[in-house]
Amino acid sequence: MTILIKNKHTLQIDNFKFKCCIGENGSTIYKKEGDGKTPKGTFEIGNLYFRKDRVKKPQTLLKCIEIKNNTGWSYDIRFPKKYNKLIKRDNKIKHEKLKRKDYKYDYFIPIKYNFKKPILGKGSCIFIHLTKKYKPTAGCIAINKKDFLIILKLIKKKTRIKII
């Protein structure tokens, strides 16, 4: 099964189409850290991360991991071994705080872009996460909560995402 991002507003799985938004500067095959673009290509997806204090563990075949207070995702090129990885938050390392005040990461799935042997500066923290107003992202793919929960029932661990 493949999640298809057909354009900056459409996510499709089989015959199901959902409204989405992508990076504020569109998509690219030449992704760079902080460029506001969503990477083009076909990628594996990661586990589902969720805020147990705000939302229920959803029905899904993905492994579900609770987001803790000290969970972060590193985008710091000064720490190559931690770059584009889930980390225990450390003020010395630049990172995306996963337990946010807003709702955007109440549920999220990492896209395994620049993941196995990450190249520093090529981009990190690319997630499928929540949105309410479909404003462009910093490079992630965002959908509303109702659609996210439907998608979780359709996908599995071996699902890929193809961003055109």
Q: Contact, 138 vs 98, CB < 8 A?
A: no
Among candidates 62, 92, 61, 66, which has minimal Cα distance to 79?
92
- CA–CA distance from 149 to each of 3, 8, 27, 155, 159 (Å)? 14, 20, 25, 10, 15
Which CATH fold topology does 2-163 show?
Answer: L,D-transpeptidase catalytic domain-like (2.40.440)
What pTM was computed for the model?
0.96
Q: Please tell me the total number of residues recorded for the chain in this structure.
A: 164
Q: Tell me the pLDDT of the chain (164 aa) as tens digits.
A: 999 999 999 999 999 999 999 999 999 999 999 999 999 999 999 999 999 999 999 999 999 999 999 999 999 999 999 999 999 999 999 999 999 999 999 999 999 999 999 999 999 999 999 999 999 999 999 999 999 999 999 999 999 999 99
